[in-house]
Homo-oligomer: A and B are copies of this chain.
Amino acid sequence: MTRTPVQRASGRRDRPGYDRDSLLEIAVMVFNERGYDGTGMEELARRLGLSKSSIYHHVSGKEELLDLAVSRALDALFAVLDEDGDSQATATARLERIVRRSVEVLVAELPYVTLLLRVHGNSEAERRALERRREFDHRVAELVARAAAEGGVRNDIAPHLASRLLFGTVNSLVEWYRPEGGLPAAVLADSVAAVLFDGLRARSVR
């Protein structure tokens, strides 16, 4: 997902050096470093090497950048729920697959998911993002309840608590996981699913 600023062919009225995606990528990096609330358009313009009016050529302002960034993360996470349409699979197998795939999305979209998880709800765009996060949690909790009903997951932990522990663990990866650290996304996804579904304890039979 790494994009470098594109070199525009001359003759376009668009600003040289950036399209909206590459501008977004740098804005998200700055938001993650300094906090969304703490970043002004002046600082963004400075880091992009653009005038503020050049940024307004691409987006209506800071809030649209936030909206684009967190929508990218949320769309990718909801796609994981929606792609999981195998009606033959048990709810438990689907839940495990969603955990694994969410780890992969988190790795692929790391800066965007990181920003999403830091959103506090101080603006309309942030409140919309929080609403979609709650909807995601709700759908996962429903699936946990079905998995418990079919006997696949333990029933001594309430579905909403189980859902929060599953995604608390997945989301905590943004705090330390760095792709350049050499741990492949697939190994990370397997390890997270192994601990969450089968536990860290050694067993004679797995």
Residues of A within 8 A of B (CB): 35, 37-38, 92, 144, 148, 151-157, 161-162, 164-166, 168-169, 171-173, 175-176, 183, 188, 191-192, 194-203
Contacts and interface: CB of A to CB of B under 8 A. Distances in A.
A154 B197 contact: no
A194 to B, nearest CB: 7
Copies in the complex: 2
Given A157-B191, A157-B195, A172-B169, A162 B37 contact: no
Nearest to A183: B161
A7 B196 CA distance: 48
Contact of A191 (B144, B161, B188): B161
Given A168-B173, A202-B153, A196 B194 contact: no
Nearest to A174: B168
B200 A154 contact: yes
Given A172-B172, A198-B201, 7 more contacts: A37-B38, A144-B200, A151-B202, A154-B202, A155-B202, A169-B172, A197-B200
B199 A195 contact: yes
